[in-house]
Amino acid sequence: NRIWREGCFPLRWKVANIIPLLKPGKDPSKVTSYRPIALTSCLGKTLERMINRRLRYVLEGKNLLAKYQCGGRSSRSTIDHLVRLETTVREAFVNRQFCLSVFFDLEKAYDTTWRYGIINDLYNFGIRGRMLSALQDYLERRTFHVKLGTTLSREFVQENGVPQGGVLSATLFLIKINSISHVIPPSVQYSLYVDDLQISVSSCNFSICERRVQLTINNMVKWANNNGFTFSTEKTSCVLFSRKRGPAPEPALTMYDVSIQNKAMQKFLGLTFDSKLSFSFHIIDLKRKCHKALNVLKVLSHKSWGSDRVCLLRIYRSLVRSRLDYGSIVYGSARASTLKMLDPIHHRGIRLATGAFRTSPVLSLYAEANELSLEKRRFSLGFMYSLRIRSVLQHPCREVVEQSRFERTFLNKPSIVPPFSMRNKTEAVSAGLDINLPLASVLRTIAPWQCLPVLDLSLTQYNKKDTPHEVLRQEFFQLQEKYNNYISFYTDGTKSNSSVGCSAIGPSYECVRRINSNATILTAELYGLLLATNHITKNRLPCSIVYTDSLSALRALASLEATKNPLVTDLRFKVSTALENNIQIVFCWVPSHVGIAGNEEADRAANNCSERNVDIENIPYRDCRAALRKHIRCKWQQEWNSEVNNKLYSVKPILQEWASARHRERFFEVILCRLRIGHTHLTHGYLLRHEDPPLCEHCTEPLSVVHILLECPAYDSDRRFHFSQFYRARLPLHIALLLGDKP
């Protein structure tokens, strides 16, 4: 508080230790080949986070940042710009237009940021007082050391730019670069992610594209000169997107009197866009990178002493599958034959993690590892992305995701690949899912400096399992004495296979609501708290206490972390507004089903909601994730049921995670996996040697796992010895009994 009042950061917090890390594939003898990693005071970063949260609240609340700036902002990501750019190019293709895009690079963007310009922009935003003084002092007198091994250099002064590694640095940079959007005309589309900038113009006339882009470049160069930035002429490039056959015209664009290089493809935010938007170059490069990442699994997955399946699957999902997932909803528009190039990566990763034999069928791999195919994952990611965008009312990508402007034109030209919005809608309809689910949106939030709701969690000190119910009731009665002057309300939420509901009861008040069946139990509990809060504020009750048995709902209300749950933000806002109007509301946790009359009554009321029609349709978009997962798994199960000839289907007819697949000894895991799938070196090694299928040496029958374990008469005595419990119980031997999860 003293630092905040005086607006002066300690000098020790302004000293950074720079650790240089060599960039991949760069010359180690050049200084520019190293990436500086700045280590600063952890205590100083804590204060920076507090200031940054308040600064971001003002910037977002007043819509001061550019609409299409998605870097470092809540509910926005790099995928937003990738979807927008792909949609822009697809729409140009369907209208037989050129789409000319320029991808800019700022030279040393963070290190050359104009400090005085930042303070000036903050002042123009209306930020004054202690906030402005603290930020001004934060940027001044910054120093750093360079640390190489155990050697520390002398202290240097950072004369310009925002501090590397600072929590506030990203926000301050966004403020400085924000005004670049003012010099880009409305006829030019742009995407801005921190310092990654792209502009594009679409037109049937190539000269119009070229002229508009050149005028915009000239405006941006003037802006850069006035704000202390410099665009790199070496790294800035342009791509002309066109479906027209034959040689394409080459744009003659200049910047700083230097020609901008023309490229057939360009990487933007991790995704390579080629001029035909085939994404084949991106997929080839992605496959190469994933092959390198799989080397880690190859080292750790030895069938005798390797790591266990759980760890290997986690490594695969974090190092390899995450690469495959990134941008998949965009490059998923590539040809099916091109996308199939990535399937072997996915299959190999699962084989290495589970220890399955190399000839194991793909469908068996998915079932054994409980892992979706890449096609199903792309659909799942795309569906959830569209729901997330639709739940944010002011999202810049909302208009692109909801519906394409040229949907009718795309329908009339089926040979042209449609944009993401149409692909996602088509896939959802074919899967039997409703893409237009009613979603709750964040409308209002409380300021970081406002108080959170008042909670009483004193009863959580008693363990419900170990404490007699009579003791819990007595403690509750004592708690009631503490709030003797408060009006008591009880809320509850319930979820069953048929319905989801909530209730709130109080003196001369009872309200029951049925909620969308996709809602989670947390959503039901939060809606119950909202019912009670709305009644209290509507009737202006001065002091009220709301009892609930949902500890998760109360902890969500009291969390200091910024939440994206619209019900939590709405509840916080209403409680804060009520407090400003001298209406005090306390939320108290009580244990459920211990004989507390009000809680039991609220529980019965909520359970009776199944007889009502649905009253509340809007739910948080995250609640739809469970419904989507259930739907995809149901479709997957239907496909698996048709694989009656698959060897694993006899062992595992129901798709689910098997605890028995995990074992401390890797060798045991590998053996069990190969036996269940039915592909081992003994039975299917001939496929690798290009030989004929082997026959049993005892009975000349085709050699298989089932034949060895159940059918071959030569092993009958061994069978009676090892499987004696089945013989004693007079159970017929079946492969599912021997190799299943719970025989």
Reported as a single tens digit per residue, the pLDDT across 186-234 is: 999 999 999 999 999 999 999 999 999 999 999 999 999 999 999 999 9
- How confident is the model over 472-487, as pLDDT tens digits? 999 999 999 999 999 9
- Strands 487-495 vs 543-548: parallel, antiparallel or unpaired: parallel
- Select the CATH number that applies to the domain covering 454-619 from these four: 3.40.80.10, 3.30.420.10, 3.40.50.720, 3.40.50.300: 3.30.420.10
Region 594-604: mean pLDDT is 92
The mean pLDDT value for 734-739 works out to 89
pLDDT for res 455? 93
Where residue 687 falls among pLDDT bands split at 50, 70, 90?
very high
Residue 347 pLDDT: 97
CB 545 within 8 A of CB 487: yes
Q: What percent of the chain has pLDDT over 70?
A: 100
3-state secondary structure of 72: coil
Rounded to 5 degrees, φ, ψ at 452 are -80, 165
Query: What tens digit of pLDDT does each residue of 85-116 get?
Result: 999 999 999 999 999 999 999 998 888 999 99
Task: For 449-466, write each residue's pLDDT tens digit.
Answer: 888 899 999 999 988 888
The better pLDDT of the pair 158, 199 is held by 199
Residue 720 burial (C-beta neighbours within 10 Å; 0-12, 13-18, 19+)? exposed
pTM: 0.92
Question: Three-state DSSP class for 558?
Answer: helix
pLDDT digits (tens, 9 = 90+) for 557-575: 988 787 889 999 999 999 9
Q: Where are the domains of the chain?
A: 2-274, 281-431, 454-619, 644-739
- pLDDT of 294 reads 95
Cα separation values, 330 from 133, 334, 335, Å? 44, 9, 12
Distance CA 410, CA 403 (A): 12
Q: Percentage of the chain with pLDDT > 90?
A: 77
**Residue 31 host element (H or E):** none
pLDDT confidence tier of residue 431, bands split at 50, 70 and 90: confident
Question: Tokens 């320029």 label which residue?
Answer: 102
Give the span between the Cα atoms of 573 and 578, in whole angstroms.
Answer: 8
Residue 442's pLDDT band (boundaries 50, 70, 90)? Answer: confident
3-state per-residue secondary structure call for 365-382: HHHHHCCCCHHHHHHHHH
- d(Cα 438, Cα 385) in Å, to the nearest integer? 15
Beta carbons of 696 and 712 less than 8 angstroms apart? yes
For 711-723, the pLDDT digits (tens) are: 899 999 988 888 8
Mean pLDDT value across the chain: 92
pLDDT at 728: 84
pLDDT(743) > 60? no
Closest to 296 measured CA to CA, from 317, 270, 324: 317
pLDDT above 80 (res 491): yes
- Average pLDDT on 111-132 reads 93
Residue 64 has pLDDT above 90, yes or no: yes
